[in-house]
Amino acid sequence: MNRKFELLRTPAIANLERRLFLKRGLSLGALSLLTGCNITEQESVQRVLMAMSRWNDGAQQWLFNPHRLAPEFPESRITRPFPFNAYYSEDEVVEVDGSSYKLELAGMIRERKPWTLAQLYALAQVSQVTRHICVEYVGFQCADDYYGSIDMATALHPQTIIALRYGDEILPPKYGYPMKLRIPTKLGFKNPKHITAMFVTNEYPGGYWEDKGYNWFSGS
């Protein structure tokens, strides 16, 4: 889904983003993306945040590489109407009074003066047409109680395949008959065998080893 954002970026926000970036490898943008998503259970939010913090171990640096730009799209590719996402329904959207609205600034910021909406509108603006990815996992269940999950980008990777055959034979039992997910960009445990069900979800499904503490991303 693509959506158009009218964005403003004050030097203070850009600086805060950069600091978070360098210190924790997690951008403000990634966090605010999460909160805008259609995640209903508190527990799954916690699990997503835990999963995200586990990404932050160097192997996934490319995800948050400050020099890697997200793809941009022409106006014709905008999804309309754009679906509503929140932890409540659309008729419960919070009402904000723009005339009294103030953006408070706090923490290690030199100028902590709140900004009014009029002041914000007066700043230089940029626009972007970019893809909104809520969370989007693909989960797998296996015949032997094994289970696992991968991000959508990995699922759509050209070398991620469902293996039904091994060499010249039907996939043998020990390698996952009748179906094994083969992901050459990931560690062995991310390749579920004997798959009986696949599902797409926005709630972090975890995995057999991941839920015992293994790194969820475990790949390149």
Stretch that binds Mo ion, among 4-12, 124-132, 188-196, 211-219 (CB under 5 A): 188-196
Length of the chain: 220
CB 161 within 8 A of CB 109: no
Per CB under 6 A, which of residues 132..151 are in contact with ligand MTE?
Answer: 142, 144, 146
Nearest-approach distance from CB 136 to ligand MTE, in angstroms: 22
Nearest-approach distance from CB 158 to ligand MTE, in angstroms: 20
Report if residue 174 touches Mo ion, rule: CB under 5 A: no
Q: Which helix (H) or strand (E) covers residue 152, if one does? A: helix 152-155
What angle (nearest 5°) sits at the alpha carbon of residue 83, between those of residues 62 and 101?
A: 85
Candidate list 6, 188, 212, 213; residue touching Mo ion; CB under 5 A: 188
Stretch that binds ligand MTE, among 15-23, 44-52, 116-124, 172-180 (CB under 6 A): 172-180
In sequence order, what are the residues at sequence separation of 6 or more whose Cβ sits closer than 8 angstroms to the Cβ of residue 175? 163, 166, 193
CB 154 within 8 A of CB 185: yes
Task: Give the footprint of Mo ion on this chain (CB under 5 A).
Answer: 188-189
Task: Give the footprint of ligand MTE on this chain (CB under 6 A).
Answer: 142, 144, 146, 175-176, 180, 188-189, 191-194
